[in-house]
Structure 1
Amino acid sequence: MIKSPTAHEISYGLVELNPDGTIQRANDEAKRVLISEDGDSNYLFHRITNNEIKTKLHECFMGRANEFIVTIDNQPVFFLFHRSNNEQSQDRIHVYLFNIYNLLTLHDHNNWNNHLLSSIGEMAAGIAHEVRNPLTAVKGFLQLMEQTYKEEYSHIAQSELDRAIHILNDLMSVSKPEFVQEEKAAFNVCSKIESILLLFQNQLYDINVIKSFQDETAMVVGRRDQIKKALFNLIKNAIEAMSDGGTLMIEQYEDGHDVHINISDSGVGIPKDKLRLLGTPFFTLKQDGKGMGLAQVFNAIQSNHGKIRVTSEEGIGTTFYLSFPKKSQYSTQFIGGNTMLQVVDSKTDLTDFLFKNLDFYTREWVQYLEKNKSYITSLLKENGEMEQYDRAGNPIMKLVAQNILEIKTELIMDVAKERGVKSAKTEFPMHLAWELFQSSRGIIWNAIKSFYQESQNTLSTEEFFTLERNVNDIIDLYIDSYTAYYVNYKEDLLKSHRETVDELSVPIIPIAERVCILPIVGNVDTYRAKKIREKTLVRVKELKANQLIIDISGVPFVDTAVVNHLFKIVKGIKLLGCSTILTGISAEIADTMIELGIEIDNELKTRSDLQQALQDIQQFRIGKD
């Protein structure tokens, strides 16, 4: 039986292993609990008799888990699997064993244990809540289907099951490492932050963004997409915490070992008793949140050898502190053992080669387009783009040549903005622009291949992947920025057009003293119905109308939400002292009104068509005279 510790110390087992599984040392607790005395082998799996432990430890060696619980002598034992790494290779593996009952006996002396148990309880409650909701809906619709089969019920039940599966997949993505992960590489973290901020451009009007980058060329090592997604989520959360505006500050600096990134907001803050739960799956302070975003952030940072901590104060704001190992600690791994000077010299030669041969490869690129994508070249000639390429060369290849030594984020984004806005103004299709981008990428790599063939320079595998990452980072930043500026311009234009259409789509026409008509023509969605309601109330007030005819004979279809908006107009103008006559109601709209339970009372008159409504008004006026 595993002995219980005193109240002031906790006994635990520890086994130190080589990466191949051979035992280096084991303390007495580990020998007594885990390792059999039988056998002379020093191989861990030959010394363990418990098959369940063997299986679970094998999963840990395969990278599929880092901890598990197994019952030994009727007591639960928690196993923690930890790899220690040096700069070049795995150094040691440590397996820790904790008796969970012994941990529980120390709760009065270990606050962290209370927090752990509380977090587990809250996480379990969150899982139960998130998964129970869709499953309850599925159960209800299955019961309805037993009584009356409707295809709609089947679709809803299927979507709710998909939602439950999606929730569980999100949980698995946090609790279980990916079997297939992208390779680690060195990348410019400041340029990634710049590209992320560009994606939030439309949400930053009321927010003051302060960037303080000590070194804009700072490189970190890790899985680029994982870290980029984590930074995206942190910046997104910071922006959402400042719904009424505020300050977003992003700082970057270095010390002797790490690259540090601090992301601060002046938002609502986080209660102190909730701080410890950040990063726990299904814990969220958002009304519509699922609590998986920060869990994935913590997992991504830590799995890339980074560190993360957070401070917050309600009403003042929140700061996330991130740190990553500097690239120099991994220089041997990523530059194939060569010195940094050799790599820079090689890149300098490549830069000169790309500049000197820019015209040649631009012509080769244009010839490829004319031969294989003549539909694009015709459009480029109409817009005058081909002449610009003849003068200045392929813009993406030029950017690669300018930035291969050091990525200048603002330069790339400025060029992308100019070209993206110009393409949007000339209605150049986005899908054709993407074809140009991909063909440009191909011609750039053809040029790089020619450089190494002609110069007879050779690259190691790691050097090649470093070069590949740098070149594609430049191209991707340009494409992302171009797309964002193109879409932003189109959205602004669309918004402007829609506002103009809104002004023209509510033509309230005075036809007699204090009598107006509102003819509604065309499809009416919820957005348009809301605009009609708002402008009708204002116009009725301005005209001091006491009678309004709303003719909807020109509306082909109206859904339930739109019908609700129309009857809100009736109620609203009644408050202004104006009565309503509704004409042109189709059979479909009448059926919708019956479904909604809308009853016609004295606040609304209906007529079959506009002519009948006008005749009634005329007869009423004659009778009064």
Structure 2
Amino acid sequence: MKMAVMDLTYVQGHTLHQFIANNMDFILKEWNYTGGKFKFFQSAKATPNSLQQTFENLFLIIGREKPKINRNELAKWAEQIGRKRAKNDFPIYYTLELFHEFRDLFWKTLYSYIELSEIELDSNELIELERYYNQAIDFAIYHFAVNYVRQKNEITRLQQLALKTPRVPLTPLTDEIALSTLIGSMDASRLENWTEETIDNIEKLKIHCLIVDVNHLLFTDPTILKSFLHSLQGFQWIGCHTILTGMNYKDGRELIKTGALPEGLVIHANIKQAIASLGGLSVHPEKPISSTKELRRVQRKRQ
């Protein structure tokens, strides 16, 4: 059975890539119409625009004349999409269905181009063309799946590391100054718990200044770093002057690039500099607070 020609516009002399770019709006409507849009939005893990943009980018990368497909560009695209979908917890089977929809619509588009441009191809040339584009699509699927699984494994590893990370106690330096030394990895769940515990301790222990050291802390994602900085700013809103120490170069560059540093937050290279900026404090003789019993003991002593 002969494949139907799609209602696309062909401009004399246009290449396949130009043909696809010129008809992209119609191609996207066709994809939405055939169920691609509605099928994937059921997951509620990606926005309509992001899925449509993904589909469009893939079409433009693969939709080049043989042998002009850039494998490096295709691999980079697949890596970015694989890691992004894994971070967003977008089900892998939905994306694999997306590839299936893509392959079907791409071949309809390619066939329409061949028919409208009146290109003459013999059976061997058609077979080579089919092999070339199917290999490119399979290449994209492979690199997507590999990077999706890698990112998922990394997320799982960091989550397990966070669970194994021992709770670091709050260390009083004076009656009104304390130190929070964070180690291990910081993900969204741990950040939420740490923020709540710290606010509770600031209130109960009447802490007016908190030094937070992150020299041995790994942020699992740039968004976690931003949320962490917002937490530090929140401490200041409830009357606790906050000093950040131990920020590494990588996270520092991220802050400079995004401009995410909260206004008024003080940063020092290390704990020693932070203490010196406060007039040179001597460490409080009490042991770190690591239990509810010890917390109550310190509270009674300070009342």
Greater Rg over alpha carbons, structure: 1
TM-score (norm 1): 0.23
Larger relative strand fraction:
1
The one of the two structures with greater contact order (alpha-carbon pairs below 8 A, sep at least 6) is 2
TM-score (norm 2): 0.46
Larger relative helix fraction:
2
